[in-house]
Amino acid sequence: MIINASTNIIINTFKCGVFVFNCNGATGKSRVAKILASLQATGENYSVVTVINGKLSVYGDVDNSTIVMFDRFDLYVSDEWLDKINSIKSSCTVMLDLKQLEKLNCKYGFVDISMFEDRIELRLI
């Protein structure tokens, strides 16, 4: 699957479920979130939840997207959001930027992210 943007995002396969990014910093997670949010604004079926300027920001319709990304999830992880993830995980790809994995209450895989000059590759494992 290729998501076309100024920096392309290439995902190895489409899978429904919950996938967590690895715990290193500066791998390109927030860049993926920005790209998906900007594509959502042009009508693509993606959603992004993040914190901007201290406020929770939701881009798109989380309940009806093919890809939902929760960026900076450690800042707002809550039972409410975990319930939401559990309710949508069977119908879309949920990607989480979360370091405190013990807070997750569902099965999850991992997102292996590799950043290149012209693209970002995501591998759902």
Nearer to another protein, 43 or 54 (CB): 54
Query: Using the rule CB under 8 A, is 54 a contact of another protein?
Result: yes
Please identify, among the stretches 9-17, 24-32, 40-48, 86-94, the one whose residues bind another protein according to the rule CB under 8 A: 24-32
Instruction: Give the neighbor-by-neighbor strand order of the sheet with 67-70.
Output: 2-3, 8-11, 119-124, 109-115, 17-21, 93-96, 67-70, 46-52, 55-59
Query: Using the rule CB under 8 A, is 23 a contact of another protein?
Result: yes
Query: Using the rule CB under 8 A, is 72 a contact of another protein?
Result: yes
Q: How far apart are CA 52 and CA 59, in angstroms?
A: 12
Query: Using the rule CB under 8 A, is 25 a contact of another protein?
Result: yes
Query: Using the rule CB under 8 A, is 6 a contact of another protein?
Result: no
